[in-house]
Structure 1
Amino acid sequence: MRTNLDAQVTSASSRILFLPNSSRTAASVLDNGRQEVGTLLVMQSYDGRSGAYIDQSGGVVALTDTETSSLVGSVDPGGWGTVSVAGLGEYRVKLQGATGYLYYIVGMPTSELSSTVAQILTTVTLLTLGGLLVLAAVIAIVIRRSLKPLRSVADTAARVAAQPLDSGDVTISERVPASEADASDEIGRVGAALNTLLDHVDTSLAARQRNEERMRAFVADASHELRTPLAAIRGYSELSLKALSLGGGEGATTAQIEAGAQHSQHGLERIQAASLRMTTLVEDLLLLARLDEGKELVYGAVDLTRVAVDSVADAQAAGPDHEWIIEVGEEPVIVAGDGARLHQVMANLLANARVHTPEGTRVTTTVRIEDGDAVVRVADDGPGIDPAVADELFERFARADSSRARQTGGTGLGLSIAKAIATAHDGTLSVESEPGATVFEMRLPARPETPAC
């Protein structure tokens, strides 16, 4: 900018025309030339010092002696200078010599330069502010778009929080949209994690509901099972009391007394049978509760081969009309567990095979080691399990035979107890059945017969 202004001053100096016959004053020189508005001229000749400038209207205005002296005193000896003229402002001036003159000074106002600089500064400021505003808008848009998945996560969490989850059949269907749950970026991982959490919570709530329904069914079944022997006890006790009153009254004959005694004895026998059945049921329920709590087991080294041999021998004595086969290896199969409870599982599986299959059915019991597990299988070639009850076979009070007779129906707790015992031993109990082939399999962690030191 300063270079351009200096070029203007040099150009104005080259246009100064000194006429020999004109009055030797700055005003006369400027009046005879074609100078730009604002051009300043100070002349020092033998006739004296004078100064003038061209105002905005193009007229020539003479400077006072005081203004001229002040201007001359401010000029740099090197020829260039920037001076301030009272009432005119700041000028860029150049000192030169000429024929017939000692020197002359030509100047141009710096107001244009200041105006240009001011415009540039204003432009730069406006552009900077505009750029900052645009940048702020872009950043706001980017942040808003980046945080959109988080808002979706918050909205989803708020909707889930508004649902009643404390009771009843509850299903959480709310999920963060898949487009905002992209696990490839950090913010999307939050949505994906929330969806995973909601899946787990939904699964847990469904399991809780199933457990509640199972518990209600369990309580109903237990109440039904207990109601039958209690009703029998009450009925036979009332019958026995009535028989005693008839046989023991005044004037009762010997025959009436004997009949009353017989009825009382029969009633007491039925009361005893009902109480035993109720005791067995209560003990089974108590055993299940203790197994669920991780209690009731006494651990030790158990030879499953010996347990299988003894259980098959007992089953053969109870069901001589069936064909009993046992297949075991020469080496014992050792597990860490409760021998009495594992014997109970074996006895239950063999009893089911005996009770729910016709005479002549072949029942095969095998014990072996497979993939580091002790595996016990009880297989029969009977008619198989009804598919309608196969999925609920290990549920409490489930029966393949709907009869309530003790010989066939039972209480429906045997297989559920067997599965609970297997689970308490960190094992599994499963069944596969089709007509002609039913296999119950118990798989337990095995251990070597002689532990390594």
Structure 2
Amino acid sequence: MTDERTPEPTTMGATDASTGARAQAEASAAPVEDTEDALPRRAPWTLQRKLIVTVVGITSFIMVLVAVATSAILGQVLEQQLDAEVKAEQQSVNYMRPLLANGLTAEQILEEQPRQPGYFLAVQSLPGDASAAVVDQNGEVVALTDDQIAEISGSVQGQRGQLVVTIDDLGTYRIEGVSFGGTTIIVGLSRAGITETLTRMLITIGLLTAGGLLLLAVATAWTIRRGLAPLRAVADTAARVSALQLDQGEVSIAERVPVRQADPRTEVGRVGAALNTLLDHVDESLTARQRNEERMRSFVADASHELRTPLASIRGYSELSLTALSRGQATALETTEASLERIQAQSLRMTSLVEDLLLLARLDEGQELVYGTVDLTRLAIDAVGDVTPTGPDHEWVLEVGDEPVLIAGDAGRLHQVAANLLANARTHTPAGTTVTVSVSRNGKDAILRVHDDGPGIDPSLEDELFERFSRADRSRARQTGGTGLGLSIARAIVDAHGGSIRVASKPGDTTFEVRLPARPADPVAN
């Protein structure tokens, strides 16, 4: 894109423009370079290919080293054996004395006394008078030319012991000379046998190595492929899980790595087992999240319902009072006074509800507790004394021991628990019901029980009895209104103290049991 702005006439303006254009070009080019650096230039090797190449490469290197070492050792053994044979031939030249006395050449001697193929013989009786011949692979005697003899003479001149010489067109020989009576005799044997043996051995090793490496590659590929099958199953399972919609709605992760590929006794199988464990945990967490969301929606709906009734009442009475005042009715003062009383009652009801909700929220956060020494026996006595005047049509029984049951807790909140349980028994049982409050100690637990012989609780409601706004009680007649938060507050307080609360109910026998740790008093302000 071109810049259509009119350039400044000064040099500085031109410099700034060029600098800005260069900076813009560098800025626009930077992401391209980052993108190119991020992309691989070629596809990376798979783990299977790396393992196969590594195993086959190392094995090939070892086989080559074995072949070289074997060839060297075998060659050395064959050379020593050939040395011994040459030494034996050198020591058996006495048979040539009569032939040499007759002036026979090396070729004639070998024809008179045939030797093994590859045998070399050179004879020099006088300076400059030398002859040499070899027995070829067909057993025929081949005389050496003067040039070949001269080349051999130049090689052995001034040398002692066995030597290795190469004769053109005839190969390499190991030779050794001996002199007697002014005559020099050189005998030797061809090294073609050693070369042929080593060649055959190397070819055999090469063919066996190639076949073995091919078989090794196939076996390694098969083994690795089967060994990595759990990893592929893990990748496939993770890919399927990643395609699921987990952000909303009811979610259930049913995908798992097959059991046969998630054996924790193997290294790779542990990966599959770990993924299955992770998916189980995620599935449980998502289920809990969904359950919490449903509970929260229900909680909001219940709270809205509880607040809507008093708000509607307040609005109605306010409108009634305003209407009466605007019309100037004679009874306006009386109507307004009654409306304000109802408005105050509904306000107090909303205040109680909001305070209960605030208390639950603070208890969930671990607040609102002030620890101290609490006598659970005295607490039960006070709670029964408080509820007796409000429930004169019930029979209240107190069963406590002579010794106090001391615990560490928040006395005010624990008294609220006892008061809620007793109020619940008074409200939801008919007149004449006997309510028994007992305090005892069992090992490390202090136990508070509230028992009544009323009609009992519907078993289908026991699981949700301690839920917030739970008031669907079809077994107990509801005498008065309430927020439905009493038992949920009691459970929250008991849980905050590290205890538990449960209910067991059947017709004529309902018991709420609160268990609290009977630990020594150690006041801690929370």
| Same-fold status (TM-score > 0.5) | yes
Where do 5+ consecutive residues of structure 1 fail to align?
249-255
- Equivalent positions of 1:139-154 (< 5 A) are 139-154=220-235
1:130 and 1:116 map into 2 onto residues whose CA distance is 21
Q: 1:181 aligns with which of 262, 266, 274?
A: 262
Q: Give 2:202's aligned amino acid.
A: L
- Equivalent positions of 1:85-234 (< 5 A) are 85-93=167-175, 95=177, 102=183, 104-128=185-209, 131=212, 134-135=215-216, 138-234=219-315
Pairwise CA distance, 1:319: 1.1
Q: For residues 71-118 of structure 1, give each alpha carbon's deviation from its aligned partner in whole angstroms, at most 9, with x where no partner exists.
A: 3572999875433334433113355789x9956444332123122223
Structure 1 contact 335–447 (Cα < 8 Å) conserved: yes
1:3 and 1:276 map into 2 onto residues whose CA distance is 118
Pairwise CA distance, 1:233: 1.4
Where do 5+ consecutive residues of structure 2 fail to align?
1-77
**Which one is further off, 194-203 or 263-272?**
263-272
Structure 1 contact 399–409 (Cα < 8 Å) conserved: no
Aligned match of 2:494: 422
Aligned match of 2:407: 335
Aligned match of 2:123: 43
Q: SS where residue 245 of structure 1 aligns? A: helix
1:26 and 1:38 map into 2 onto residues whose CA distance is 14
Q: 1:242 aligns with which of 298, 317, 323?
A: 323
Q: SS where residue 325 of structure 1 aligns? A: strand
Q: 1:307 aligns with which of 354, 379, 382?
A: 379
Structure 1 contact 75–83 (Cα < 8 Å) conserved: no
Q: 2:454 aligns with which of 382, 386, 394?
A: 382
> In the superposition, relative to structure 1, how do residues 447 and 79 fare at CA in structure 2: closer, same or farther (>3 Å)?
closer
TM-score normalised to structure 2 length: 0.73
> In the superposition, relative to structure 1, how do residues 134 and 76 fare at CA in structure 2: closer, same or farther (>3 Å)?
farther
> In the superposition, relative to structure 1, how do residues 83 and 439 fare at CA in structure 2: closer, same or farther (>3 Å)?
same
Query: Is 1:267 aligned with 2:349?
Result: no
Aligned match of 2:50: none
Structure 1 contact 75–95 (Cα < 8 Å) conserved: no
2:522 and 2:401 map into 1 onto residues whose CA distance is 17
1:274 and 1:214 map into 2 onto residues whose CA distance is 26
**Which one is further off, 126-135 or 227-236?**
126-135
Q: 1:281 aligns with which of 320, 328, 353?
A: 353
Q: Give 2:289's aligned amino acid.
A: R
Higher relative contact order (CA 8 A, sep 6+): 2
Structure 1 contact 364–380 (Cα < 8 Å) conserved: yes
Q: For residues 129-184 of structure 1, give each alpha carbon's deviation from its aligned partner in whole angstroms, at most 9, with x where no partner exists.
A: 55455555545544444443334334333433343333322222222222232233
Q: For residues 343-382 of structure 1, give each alpha carbon's deviation from its aligned partner in whole angstroms, at most 9, with x where no partner exists.
A: 1111110111111111111111111111211110001111
Q: SS where residue 330 of structure 2 aligns? A: helix
1:218 and 1:79 map into 2 onto residues whose CA distance is 110
Pairwise CA distance, 1:266: 3.0
Aligned match of 2:47: none
Q: How many residues align?
A: 440
> In the superposition, relative to structure 1, how do residues 275 and 290 fare at CA in structure 2: closer, same or farther (>3 Å)?
same
**Which one is further off, 341-350 or 149-158?**
149-158
Query: Is 1:373 aligned with 2:445?
Result: yes
1:24 and 1:385 map into 2 onto residues whose CA distance is 136
> In the superposition, relative to structure 1, how do residues 266 and 28 fare at CA in structure 2: closer, same or farther (>3 Å)?
same
1:115 and 1:180 map into 2 onto residues whose CA distance is 54
Q: SS where residue 314 of structure 2 aligns? A: helix
Query: Is 1:71 aligned with 2:152?
Result: yes
Aligned match of 1:84: 166
Q: SS where residue 519 of structure 2 aligns? A: coil
Structure 1 contact 43–101 (Cα < 8 Å) conserved: no
Structure 2 contact 162–174 (Cα < 8 Å) conserved: yes
Query: Matched residues, percent identical?
Result: 59
Pairwise CA distance, 1:328: 0.8
**Which one is further off, 76-85 or 385-394?**
76-85
Query: Is 1:257 aligned with 2:338?
Result: no
Q: For residues 43-94 of structure 1, give each alpha carbon's deviation from its aligned partner in whole angstroms, at most 9, with x where no partner exists.
A: 3458953222345666543223453355357299987543333443311335
Aligned match of 1:253: none
Q: SS where residue 329 of structure 1 aligns? A: coil
> In the superposition, relative to structure 1, how do residues 231 and 31 fare at CA in structure 2: closer, same or farther (>3 Å)?
same
Q: SS where residue 394 of structure 1 aligns? A: coil
1:182 and 1:396 map into 2 onto residues whose CA distance is 44
Name the Cα RMSD after superposition.
3.5
Q: Give 2:451's aligned amino acid.
A: A
Q: Give 2:255's aligned amino acid.
A: E
Aligned match of 1:2: 79
Pairwise CA distance, 1:220: 0.4
Structure 1 contact 37–56 (Cα < 8 Å) conserved: yes
Q: SS where residue 378 of structure 1 aligns? A: strand
2:159 and 2:330 map into 1 onto residues whose CA distance is 159
Structure 1 contact 79–96 (Cα < 8 Å) conserved: no
Structure 2 contact 364–492 (Cα < 8 Å) conserved: yes
Pairwise CA distance, 1:314: 1.9
Q: Give 1:174's aligned amino acid.
A: E
2:422 and 2:221 map into 1 onto residues whose CA distance is 74
Q: Give 1:292's aligned amino acid.
A: D
Aligned match of 1:436: 508
Q: Give 1:148's aligned amino acid.
A: A
Aligned match of 1:251: none
Aligned match of 2:435: 363
1:39 and 1:363 map into 2 onto residues whose CA distance is 127
Pairwise CA distance, 1:288: 1.2
Q: SS where residue 348 of structure 1 aligns? A: helix
Q: SS where residue 295 of structure 1 aligns? A: coil
Structure 1 contact 83–93 (Cα < 8 Å) conserved: yes
2:221 and 2:406 map into 1 onto residues whose CA distance is 70
Aligned match of 1:252: none
2:100 and 2:368 map into 1 onto residues whose CA distance is 136
Pairwise CA distance, 1:324: 0.9
Q: Give 2:350's aligned amino acid.
A: M
**Which one is further off, 59-68 or 327-336?**
59-68
